[in-house]
């Protein structure tokens, strides 16, 4: 069942493997019998009239929000900004005339997010919560809820909730685009279906990832993830995953920022993991890889099929370029998993961390 490990050594590994399934469940849940998107009419109307979206989240959910912002802007044409919940009230942005607040939270219980919700409700603004837990605090206190349908997530490090959040945000963006009569050359359910299959191909490649970890991350003190555009957002999540469970000091960097300081960190043998899933940045991310390799870095390139070069460590099955985070994150989760496993860390219950943080 959902709350038992079964034959898996850890919940995290089980939950990584459940991602294609969760994605297929989302496709089912958000589609009616005529293959139209199924969404609460009130959410649709609210999305149509809002002039700016403020996404509020913490941790992994914040990283999903960064990807979601792109969907809302590129597909639905709504300006969107993403805020770390705990920082929001210190530097509250000037709000637009018709703001909509979107809370992304696996648990629906994160206190930092809740305090923003309380505040913006006092101000009279509408709120939509995207959560994995029906009946959670953030769901009850917001005007609207979208469910992730990912099934219970037990491991402290979030995996399937992240990909479910991204999928639901994509559906929300497409639904809004359609409601607004915008021209979109993107069939979400078809593309998500292709993506679910691609994820399955990746979850079947555990041995290859395990080998990469043993060869490159075995005893390292630190590791860096570099990417541009959408890949940068996934690098932030990849680094968080590795930090959380393996305690390797890891950071995600925007490729273009390397030269502005962070390249100083590269030493002989420093692992640098590069994501290359976007055609528009394939050339520039590869020149970043050459720069770090010239300073002794130990590079591992994860590229999308069609963009790969001979030296790439790993080729990801091709999906729509808006949905690449859903596939590129899978080997990143597995990297973190095997790194933690080989270091003898408690994968499902890392030190000092809690699954949901109900204090500010």
Active site residues: 355
CB closer to ligand G6P out of 297 and 336: 336
Sign of the alpha-carbon dihedral angle for 115, 120, 121, 122: positive
Applying CB under 6 A, which of residues 58, 248, 335, 347 lies at the interface with ligand G6P? Answer: 58
Tokens 């919700």, residue located: 117
Number of residues that bind ligand G6P (CB under 6 A): 17
Q: Give yes or no for residue 60 binding ligand G6P (CB under 6 A).
A: yes
The least distance separating ligand G6P from the CB of residue 150, rounded to whole angstroms, comes to 11
Provide the 10 A C-beta neighbour count for residue 236. 19
In order of 64, 156, 194, 215, 348, the CA distances from 341 in angstroms are: 25, 15, 30, 14, 10
User: Which part of the chain contacts ligand G6P (CB under 6 A), choosing from 29-37, 103-111, 141-149, 223-231?
Assistant: 103-111
Q: Give yes or no for residue 158 binding ligand G6P (CB under 6 A).
A: yes
Q: Give yes or no for residue 156 binding ligand G6P (CB under 6 A).
A: yes
The least distance separating ligand G6P from the CB of residue 138, rounded to whole angstroms, comes to 8
The least distance separating ligand G6P from the CB of residue 136, rounded to whole angstroms, comes to 9
Q: Give yes or no for residue 134 binding ligand G6P (CB under 6 A).
A: no
Which has the closest alpha carbon to 73: 104, 101, 52? 52
Q: Give yes or no for residue 356 binding ligand G6P (CB under 6 A).
A: yes
User: Which part of the chain contacts ligand G6P (CB under 6 A), choosing from 15-23, 100-108, 212-220, 253-261?
Assistant: 100-108
User: Which part of the chain contacts ligand G6P (CB under 6 A), choosing from 93-101, 142-150, 156-164, 267-275?
Assistant: 156-164
The least distance separating ligand G6P from the CB of residue 348, rounded to whole angstroms, comes to 12
Task: Please name the residues in contact with 298: beta carbons below 8 A apart, sequence gap of 6 or more.
Answer: 216, 269, 270, 271, 272
Q: Give yes or no for residue 176 binding ligand G6P (CB under 6 A).
A: no
User: Which part of the chain contacts ligand G6P (CB under 6 A), choosing from 1-9, 20-28, 192-200, 352-360?
Assistant: 352-360
CB closer to ligand G6P out of 184 and 357: 357
Task: Please name the residues in contact with 48: beta carbons below 8 A apart, sequence gap of 6 or more.
Answer: 176, 179, 180
Applying CB under 6 A, which of residues 110, 176, 216, 270 lies at the interface with ligand G6P? Answer: 110
CB closer to ligand G6P out of 75 and 133: 133
Assign 3-class secondary structure to 34-101. Answer: CCCECCCHHHHHHHHHCCEEEEEECHHHHHHHHHHHHHHHHCCCCCEEEEEHHHHCCCCCCCCCCEEE
Applying CB under 6 A, which of residues 123, 353, 358, 360 lies at the interface with ligand G6P? Answer: 353
User: Which part of the chain contacts ligand G6P (CB under 6 A), choosing from 99-107, 211-219, 318-326, 328-336?
Assistant: 99-107
Q: Give yes or no for residue 137 binding ligand G6P (CB under 6 A).
A: no
The least distance separating ligand G6P from the CB of residue 244, rounded to whole angstroms, comes to 7
Applying CB under 6 A, which of residues 19, 107, 270, 277 lies at the interface with ligand G6P? Answer: 107
CB closer to ligand G6P out of 75 and 330: 330
The least distance separating ligand G6P from the CB of residue 214, rounded to whole angstroms, comes to 26
Q: Give yes or no for residue 106 binding ligand G6P (CB under 6 A).
A: yes
Q: Please give the biggest Cα pair distance in the chain.
A: 58
What are the residues binding ligand G6P (CB under 6 A)? 58-61, 105-107, 110, 113, 156-158, 353-357
């Amino acid at each position: 069942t959902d709350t038992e490990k079964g034959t898996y050594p850890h919940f995290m590994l089980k939950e990584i493997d459940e991602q294609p399934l969760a994605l297929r469940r989302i496709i089912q849940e958000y589609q009616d019998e005529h293959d139209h998107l199924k969404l609460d009419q009130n959410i649709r109307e609210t999305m149509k009239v809002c002039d700016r979206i403020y996404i509020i989240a913490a941790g992994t959910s914040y990283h999903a929000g960064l990807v979601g912002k792109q969907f809302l802007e590129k597909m639905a044409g709504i300006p969107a900004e993403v805020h770390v919940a705990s920082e929001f009230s210190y530097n509250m942005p000037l709000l637009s005339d018709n703001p909509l607040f979107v809370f992304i939270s696996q648990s629906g219980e994160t206190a930092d997010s809740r305090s923003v919700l309380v505040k913006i409700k006092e101000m009279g603004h509408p709120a939509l919560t995207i959560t994995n837990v029906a009946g959670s605090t953030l769901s009850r206190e917001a005007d609207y809820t979208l469910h992730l349908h990912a099934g219970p997530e037990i491991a402290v490090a979030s995996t399937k909730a992240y990909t479910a959040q991204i999928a639901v945000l994509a559906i929300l963006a497409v639904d809004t685009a359609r409601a607004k009569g915008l021209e979109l050359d993107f069939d979400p359910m078809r593309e998500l279906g292709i993506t679910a299959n691609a994820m399955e191909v990746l979850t079947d490649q555990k041995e290859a990832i395990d080998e990469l970890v043993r060869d490159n991350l075995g005893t390292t003190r630190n590791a860096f993830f570099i990417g541009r555009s959408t890949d940068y957002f996934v690098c932030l999540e990849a680094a968080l995953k590795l930090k959380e469970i393996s305690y390797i000091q890891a950071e995600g960097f925007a490729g273009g920022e390397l030269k502005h300081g962070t390249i100083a960190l590269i030493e002989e043998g420093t692992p640098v993991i590069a994501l290359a899933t976007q055609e528009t940045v394939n050339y520039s991310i590869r020149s970043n890889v050459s720069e770090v390799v010239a300073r002794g870095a130990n590079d591992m390139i994860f590229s999308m099929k069609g963009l790969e070069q001979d030296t790439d460590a790993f080729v990801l099955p091709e999906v729509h370029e808006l949905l690449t985070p859903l596939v590129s994150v899978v080997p990143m989760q597995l990297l973190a998993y095997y790194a933690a496993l080989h270091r003898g860390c408690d994968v499902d219950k890392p030190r000092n961390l809690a699954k949901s943080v109900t204090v500010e």
